[in-house]
Structure 1
C-alpha cells in the first residue's frame, strides 16, 4: 500500500480524475483506431488526376512518373505502400503500409498521392484538397 499512499500524496483529486479518465478512454481509442474497415482497392493520383484504381488483392509494383522522377508503389498482401521515391524527406515511404479505409501516403514534392478509399464510393474525394 505504500505506492497508493504516494499516489494520494503526490496528486490532487483533479489529477486522479484525469488519470482515471485516460485509463478508461485508452481502450476505446485503441478500439476505434483498430476497427476501421479494411480497404479493397488503392487509388494512385498524380497531379490530382486518378492514374489507377487497383485491387489490393493483386500483387504488383507501379511506377508513377512525377516531376522529380518515378515514385514506386507496391501492392502486396492486401496492403499498399510507397516503396521508393526521389523526394528528399521520404515522408511518403515512412507512412508505411496502407490497408484501411482513408489511409494515405503523399509524396508532395513529386505530386503523388496513394489512397485507400473509404466507403463513400471511391471517387477520390475523401480529402477536400491535395497540396500542389
Structure 2
C-alpha cells in the first residue's frame, strides 16, 4: 500500500518568489479564474499547492507568448473540459506560435539594425567616419 504524501501548501510570498511574479499578478490570475480551486487558510489568505503552481506557470508562459488573460482563461477552460477540446486548444497554441514567430522575426530585424548602429558608432569613435549618429541623419530604409 502506498503512503499518501502530505501536500505542500505555499503562501503568496513563497509563490511570488518561486515564480518571479508580483503579488498583484498572482492575485489577478487567481481572481480571473486562471487557477482552479484556489485554497484559502482560516484568514482567507490564498494557499497554493503544486497543481496551482502549474496553472500559474502555464498562465505566466502563455501571457509571455502574447495571449491576453481572457485568452488564457478560455484555453484553461478548454483544458478542463478534456480531450473533446483538443482541436481548439491546438489551434490556440498554433496561433500563439505563429504570432511569436512574427515577433521573433521583428526582433531579429531590430538586432540587425542595432548591430549596424553599434558598428557605425565604433567607426565614428575610431575616426574613420563622420558623426551622423543622430536619428535625423539615419537612413530610414535601414530601419525597416
Query: Would you say same fold, with TM above 0.5?
Result: no
> Which TM-score tier does this pair reach, normalised by the shorter chain?
under 0.3
Greater helix content: 2
Greater strand content: 1
Q: TM-score, normalised by structure 2?
A: 0.25
Q: TM-score, normalised by structure 1?
A: 0.26
